[in-house]
Structure 1
Amino acid sequence: MATTNPVQFIQQVRAEIAKVVWPTRREVFLTTVMVFIMAALAAIFFALVDLGIRSGLHGILTIFG
């Protein structure tokens, strides 16, 4: 197993961190808005599916129950 000198390790970490491309404030804002919109759409979709299943089950139980 290769061992790395702590100083060399810190230099390598700094070199890798320098390669990171950080998102701009606008990109962060837009992706956050998109996440909230998708979460709202998913909540509406699952609420409608739940309503449909509940209505269907209620109808079946009314007929056969």
Structure 2
Amino acid sequence: MATKTNPLQFLQQVRTETAKVSWPSRRETAITTTMVFIMAFVAAVFFLVVDQLLHYGVGLLLGIGG
């Protein structure tokens, strides 16, 4: 059975662990965030195009126009 840690010890442990974390710089964070938005936009456009092509293809296949 695990022993319980009192809240003060827990907070000290959390502080010690967060000091070990390698935090990104503001510039790295901004670049990463920008890249995420760009990739989300590219993915959205890609899936829009694929969806439109499939819609057109299924329409032709079923004979209901394109």
TM-score normalised over the length of structure 1: 0.79
Q: Which has the higher contact order (CA 8 A, sep 6+)?
A: 2
1:43 equivalent in structure 2: 44
RMSD: 1.7
Identity %: 56
**Number of positions where the alignment pairs a residue of Structure 1 with one of Structure 2:** 63
Off by >3 Å, runs of 4+ in structure 1: none
Q: 2:35 aligned with 1:34, yes or no?
A: yes
Q: 1:52 to 1:23 in 2, by over 3 A?
A: same
Distance 1:32 1:59 in 2: 41
**TM-score (norm. length: structure 2):** 0.78
Q: Which runs of 5+ in 1 are unaligned?
A: none
More helix as a share of residues: 1
SS at match of 2:63: helix
**Structure 2: which 5+ residue stretches go unaligned?**
none
* Equivalent position amino acid for 1:2 in 2: T
Deviation, 1:36, is 1.0
